């Protein structure tokens, strides 16, 4: 018992002041902090929300370059009395990282792995390091950080510490708090120290030293001593109590572990500057059991029996989640592996060898076979399939957020936890509560082995009645989980969503202890105010809310999956942050993903799909304090979209299929309506027209484009990147060659229209010629349109949508006779082919001919693969392929992969975007991002390829980027490779030299 310690009064209400002079604050931060200081509307809008239902526009954002710079930023904030909120990946679901405060973003620079002590199984990290990145850096040591939230590819260690994150592997390794050795912390008033478990001797020494540190230790000890019995009584002894502050860690029996006590304090007490983590050996082998039960309740009843076998992970998934994934066309192959049932458990075992892991699974199976509700069973010990199956579980949020034809669902009560042996009863009662409130669509899944239940609920968050029901439900649900001896939060933390409900769970004495602990560290409530203690109400600061009145403007695209509404389209982003992935997986379902190259290149929220979505949301001006006030004319939104490569990676890889390329085109159309556009829009947007002019005298145009002085001057005037050589126009266009040559071959399989896109026709006609050879050899009669047409791509990507519509109408009118006869249209350039398959029908949503165009447009691989009796020539080569990003996202590369495999080509298909992306890489000011994107995947892969390896790229942009990067290789199109096979051309070394004759010598960056 500590006598006579005066603890400051508890923090129970948020202070009204002090008044913060923003300009002075911004000036001082900019002058003193080594980092980026951003108080502009774009940054404030992009950081205005996280993964939660809440939204608060921050005062400004600081992106410190070093930990010391962050400490300096906090000092400046203190001098101005400004509140601060730390932010890592911003994936919190309770509103922890949105606040009317200065947001400190740790993720861009403060992400070093400082040291590793493999023998002691510890490492020291900065808070911005992403979990997957850390584990990859540790791979050589055979160690890893144990807890693994579903957001592992984008969540940071700082955020995991802030929230006391868990994930499925917490079953074996515990929560983040259980894996923290020490923390280096900084208090708002500037005390910086390392904290950890504190034995009595050390405690005495710290107190004896006196000073601010001694004060903190003394006061904390006094609070805990006073409330010890109540803490023991009110803290549920369950594996997943994440709500509240970890005061149990300060009890004598826990060794006064101040580091663990601060884990989960959500940035409301201290700032974490560095963390010493405990590591665990990564299991060398794993296996997975899928157990199918009659329903999810019965599955939950089986949990206690299974837990005894020490699984690595024990997760539950109900039939609704599986149904929603099916309806969203997610993971079709993995879902087929689920055994019969209406509720499933996924149980994994880890060990040093596969045999050992399998043996553990066998032990469990023996017991289950004799049990009352013996499940249907699938057993998997192939790592790739296991990973795909884990995706089924990990994409729960994305799958349930928006299901076609159903109400949207929201977080709010998404991670409650109960004792695992009471889980079945809890689920039954929770479902009854859902029914009572009309929320019966909510699915149930989660970390069942630890009693933690995930769900998204179809709350109505836009009407006053709906919000009242949301509140009433949360209060009742809180009572329910507490009646089971559970915790409001089992892994995501309290934030604003649960703060108000904590008294129900902990009672007045423990709440007072929380408030007094807050006062010890942050008496002025400047650290992430309004979260956990002295909280905002759970129904204020809502991202939507009854007062939300956004614009729903007339638009150019049809948004068929969003009821024709741009506003609904912009609302797709649920904040999961998958678009913030920094690394690309190689052995994962995400291998080959593209999203989001601009974030990977810049590390900036504004240049992620999520940041852009947020800004478009703000632009629709639904809230009185919207950060973006100037609508379509907004330069903040323009700047965020400027580095969007329009690669459509997000359309495919984002769990919500956010289609930022389309939104960008829409935005540009409105932004520049009735205004002079940047010069590059006229130059590159109108490329098909200039190409027709150039076709009159290509030699002269090439000479002028590459002439000294003239070329540089011309590029500058045209808004083009001076270092980029202008691609050479072909002497004879493909279409002119073909019209002169005419149709050949028997054509017994009937006609196909070969689409002479602008790039093939004018720059790489050899690819068109190769396609003709392949198609004729396959028995097709090749037709080309009677006159020069265009898909409108370049006008779409520059947002000149009125022209694009006219161009497309003309094209479809000309193609209509062929379309109505059912003749396939074969596209060679993926981006143009993707326009026919996606953009054009979305612009002309109710036009039959556009629907026919979508249905009848094929890639070369698709047409040939579906040709009965056609066999690819034997090629027998290794190949590195860069699937064009539109190929990946709209058309799909799988057919190409299968066809190449039949031809004996061993393909390594890289992900990411080549970085040129149509006009993007040619535009002045984009070179750095463009080349950084190229360095993510394709250029290293091409450099590593030996001379015999084929470099494949169907996209003109990708081929140009590879050529201009000066890696000594050129890429060829699938048509060229097949043509070489059909004609028996020996490929030898550097297959590109023999597979085709190019219009000119390769031109690399920096040359004319
Ligand atoms: C789809 C989805 C699935 C999820 N699945 C899981 C799951 O399986 N398991 C799980 O546990 N969670 C899960 N979460 C929640 C969330 O992803 C985790 O809590 C994650 O660890 C948060 O990391 P972050 O970097 O995004 O943190 P942020 O959201 O950026 O921050 C989290 C908290 O930490 C604080 N913080 C950040 N850095 C510091 C610092 N340097 N000092 C002090 N405080 C700091 C912040 O202020 C905030 O309060 C999920 C979220 C989503 C959207
Ligand atoms: S854009 Fe997609 S991946 Fe990114 S946060 Fe939003 S929903 Fe998630
Ligand atoms: S289109 Fe590409 S660059 Fe743009 S937001 Fe989507 S993934 Fe990122």
DSSP 97-162: T--SSEEEE-TTT---EEEEETTTTEEEE-TT-BHHHHHHHHGGGTEE-S-B-TTTTT-BHHHHHH
Does residue 610 line the site of ligand 2, with CB under 6 A?
Answer: yes
CA atoms within 13 A on the CB side of 287: 20
Of the ligands numbered here, which is closest to the C-alpha atom of 577? Answer: 2
Could you read off the pLDDT of 796-811 as tens digits, one per residue? 999 999 999 999 999 9
CA distance 389 to 723: 46
Does residue 656 line the site of ligand 3, with CB under 6 A?
Answer: no
Query: Which residue, 404, 470, 403, is CA-closest to 434?
Result: 470
Is the pLDDT at 589 greater than 70, yes or no?
A: no
Residues β-bridged to residue 877: 905
Does residue 645 line the site of ligand 3, with CB under 6 A?
Answer: yes
Residue with tokens 């992935």: 581
Q: Whose CA is nearest to atom 7 of ligand 2?
A: 573
State the distance from the centre of ligand 3 to the C-alpha of 177, rounded, in angstroms.
36
Q: Are 1 and 225 in contact (CB under 8 A)?
A: yes
CA distance 669 to 799: 4
- Identify the residues whose C-beta falls under 6 Å from ligand 1: 50-51, 85-93, 96-97, 106, 127, 149-151, 155-156, 158-160, 162-163, 165-167, 266-267, 271-272, 397, 491-492, 528, 576
Does residue 658 line the site of ligand 2, with CB under 6 A?
Answer: yes
Q: Classify the phi-psi angles of 925: left when phi > 0, otherwise alpha if psi is within -120 to 50, otherwise beta.
A: left
State the distance from the centre of ligand 3 to the C-alpha of 661, rounded, in angstroms.
6
Could you read off the pLDDT of 625-634 as tens digits, one per residue? 999 999 999 9
State the distance from the centre of ligand 2 to the C-alpha of 580, rounded, in angstroms.
8
State the distance from the centre of ligand 3 to the C-alpha of 596, rounded, in angstroms.
5
Could you read off the pLDDT of 497-536 as tens digits, one per residue? 999 999 999 999 999 999 999 999 999 999 999 999 999 9
CA distance 36 to 66: 11
* pLDDT at residue 727, as a whole number: 93
Task: State the average pLDDT over residues 689-708.
Answer: 91
Does residue 573 line the site of ligand 2, with CB under 6 A?
Answer: yes
Could you read off the pLDDT of 372-418 as tens digits, one per residue? 778 999 998 888 888 889 988 888 787 888 898 899 999 999 999 99
Of 12-21, 48-57, 582-591, minimum mean pLDDT range = 582-591
| Best residue among 573, 606, 647, 652 to mutate for probing ligand 3, ranked by most atoms within 8 Å of CB | 647
CA angle 290, 291, 294 (to 5 degrees): 140
Mean predicted lDDT score pLDDT of the chain: 95
Q: Are 328 and 409 in contact (CB under 8 A)?
A: no
Could you read off the pLDDT of 214-257 as tens digits, one per residue? 999 999 999 999 999 999 999 999 999 999 999 999 999 999 99
Does residue 648 line the site of ligand 3, with CB under 6 A?
Answer: yes
State the distance from the centre of ligand 3 to the C-alpha of 829, rounded, in angstroms.
19
Does residue 649 line the site of ligand 3, with CB under 6 A?
Answer: yes
Task: State the average pLDDT over residues 850-863.
Answer: 98
How would residue 585 be classed by pLDDT, with cut points 50, 70 and 90?
low
Three-state secondary structure call for residue 251: coil
CA distance 492 to 393: 17
CA distance 368 to 739: 71
Is the pLDDT at 433 greater than 90, yes or no?
A: yes
Reported pTM: 0.95
Could you read off the pLDDT of 159-200 as tens digits, one per residue? 999 999 999 999 999 999 999 999 999 999 999 999 999 999
State the distance from the centre of ligand 1 to the C-alpha of 764, rounded, in angstroms.
49
Q: What atom in ligand 2 is closest to the CA of residue 51?
A: 5
Percent of the chain predicted with pLDDT > 90: 89
């Amino acid at each position: 018992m500590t006598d006579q310690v005066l603890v400051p009064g508890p923090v129970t209400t948020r202070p009204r002041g002090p008044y913060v002079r923003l300009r002075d604050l911004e000036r001082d931060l900019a002058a003193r902090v080594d980092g980026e200081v951003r108080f502009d509307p774009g940054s404030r809008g992009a950081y205005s929300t996280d993964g939660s239902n809440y939204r608060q526009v921050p005062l400004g954002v600081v992106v410190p370059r070093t930990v010391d710079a962050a400490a300096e930023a906090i000092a400046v904030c203190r001098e101005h009395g400004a509140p601060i909120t730390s932010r890592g990946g911003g994936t919190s679901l309770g509103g922890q990282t949105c606040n009317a405060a200065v947001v400190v973003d740790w993720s861009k620079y403060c992400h070093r792995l400082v040291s590793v002590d493999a023998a002691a199984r510890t490492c020291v990290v900065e808070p911005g390091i992403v979990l997957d990145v850390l584990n990859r850096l540790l791979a050589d040591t055979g160690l890893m950080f144990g807890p693994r939230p579903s957001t592992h590819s984008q969540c940071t260690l700082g955020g995991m510490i802030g929230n006391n994150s868990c994930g499925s592997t917490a079953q074996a390794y515990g929560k983040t708090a259980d894996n923290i050795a020490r923390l280096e912390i900084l208090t708002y008033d500037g005390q910086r120290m390392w904290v950890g478990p504190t034995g009595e001797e050390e405690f005495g020494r710290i107190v004896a030293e006196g000073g601010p540190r001694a004060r903190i230790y003394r006061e904390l000890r006094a609070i805990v001593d006073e409330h010890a019995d109540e803490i023991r009584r009110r803290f549920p002894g369950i594996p997943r109590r994440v709500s509240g502050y970890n005061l149990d860690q300060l009890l004598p029996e826990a060794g006064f572990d101040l580091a663990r006590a601060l884990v989960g304090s959500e940035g409301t007490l201290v700032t974490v500057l560095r963390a010493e983590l405990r590591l665990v050996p990564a299991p060398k082998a794993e296996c997975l059991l899928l157990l199918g039960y009659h329903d999810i309740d019965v599955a939950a009843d089986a949990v206690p029996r299974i837990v005894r076998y020490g699984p690595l992970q024990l997760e539950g998934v109900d039939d609704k989640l599986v149904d929603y994934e099916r309806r969203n066309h997610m993971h079709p192959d993995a879902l087929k592996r689920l055994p019969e049932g209406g509720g499933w458990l996924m149980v994994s075992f880890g060990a040093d060898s596969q045999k050992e892991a399998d043996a553990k699974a066998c032990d469990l199976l023996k017991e289950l076979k004799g049990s009352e509700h013996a499940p249907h069973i699938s057993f998997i010990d192939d790592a790739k399939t296991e990973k795909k199956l884990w995706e089924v579980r990990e994409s729960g949020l994305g799958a349930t957020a928006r299901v076609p034809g159903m109400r949207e669902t929201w977080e709010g009560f998404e991670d409650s936890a109960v004792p695992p042996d009471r889980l079945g009863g809890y689920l039954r009662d929770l479902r009854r509560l859902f029914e009572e409130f009309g929320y019966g669509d909510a699915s149930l899944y989660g970390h069942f082995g630890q009693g933690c239940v995930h769900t998204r609920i179809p709350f109505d968050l836009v009407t006053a009645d709906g919000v009242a029901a949301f509140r009433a439900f949360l209060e009742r649900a809180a009572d329910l989980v507490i009646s089971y001896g559970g915790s409001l939060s089992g892994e995501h933390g309290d934030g604003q969503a649960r703060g108000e409900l904590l008294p129900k769970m902990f009672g007045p004495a423990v709440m007072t202890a929380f408030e007094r602990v807050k006062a010890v560290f942050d008496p002025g409530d400047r650290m992430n105010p309004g979260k956990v203690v002295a909280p905002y109400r759970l129904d204020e600061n809502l991202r939507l809310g009854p007062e939300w009145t956004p614009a729903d403007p007339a638009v150019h695209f049809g948004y068929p999956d969003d009821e024709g509404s741009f506003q609904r389209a912009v609302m797709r982003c649920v904040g999961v942050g998958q678009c913030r992935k920094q690394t690309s997986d190689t052995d994962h379902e995400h291998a080959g993903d593209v999203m989001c190259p601009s974030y990977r290149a810049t590390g900036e929220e504004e240049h992620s799909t999520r940041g852009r979505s947020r800004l478009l949301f703000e632009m629709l001006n639904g809230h009185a304090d919207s950060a973006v006030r100037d609508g379509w004319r907004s330069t903040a939104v323009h700047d965020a979209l400027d580095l969007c490569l329009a690669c459509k990676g997000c359309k495919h890889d984002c769990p919500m299929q956010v289609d930022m390329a389309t939104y960008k085109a829409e935005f540009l159309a409105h932004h520049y309506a009735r205004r002079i556009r940047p010069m590059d829009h006229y130059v590159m947007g109108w490329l098909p027209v200039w190409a027709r002019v150039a076709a009159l005298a290509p030699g002269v145009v090439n000479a002028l484009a590459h002439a000294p002085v003239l070329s540089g001057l011309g590029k500058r005037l045209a808004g083009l990147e001076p270092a980029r050589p202008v691609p050479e126009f072909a002497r004879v266009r493909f279409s002119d060659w073909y019209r002169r040559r005419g149709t050949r071959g028997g054509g017994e399989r009937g006609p196909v229209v070969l689409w002479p896109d602008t790039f093939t026709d004018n720059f790489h006609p050899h690819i068109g010629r190769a396609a003709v050879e392949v198609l004729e050899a396959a028995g097709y009669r090749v037709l080309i349109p009677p006159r020069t047409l265009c898909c409108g791509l370049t006008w779409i990507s520059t947002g000149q949508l009125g022209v694009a519509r006219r161009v497309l109408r003309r094209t479809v009118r000309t193609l209509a006779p062929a379309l109505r006869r059912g003749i396939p249209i074969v596209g060679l350039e993926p981006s143009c082919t993707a326009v026919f398959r996606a953009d054009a029908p979305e612009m002309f949503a109710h036009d039959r001919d556009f629907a026919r165009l979508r249905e009848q447009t094929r890639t070369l691989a698709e047409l040939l693969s579906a040709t009965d009796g056609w066999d690819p020539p034997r090629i027998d080569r290794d190949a590195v392929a860069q699937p064009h990003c539109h190929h990946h996202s709209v058309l799909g590369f799988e057919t190409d992969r299968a066809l190449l495999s039949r031809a004996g080509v061993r393909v390594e298909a890289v992900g990411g975007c080549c970085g040129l992306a149509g006009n993007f890489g040619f535009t002045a000011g984009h070179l750095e991002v463009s080349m950084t994107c190229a360095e993510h995947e394709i250029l290293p892969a091409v450099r590593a390829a030996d001379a015999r390896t084929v470099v494949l790229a169907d996209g003109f942009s990708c081929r140009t980027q590879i050529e201009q990067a000066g890696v000594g290789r050129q890429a060829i199109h699938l048509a060229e490779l097949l043509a070489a096979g059909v004609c028996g051309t020996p490929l030898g070394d550097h297959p590109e030299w023999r597979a085709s004759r190019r219009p000119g010598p390769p031109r690399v960056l920096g040359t004319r």
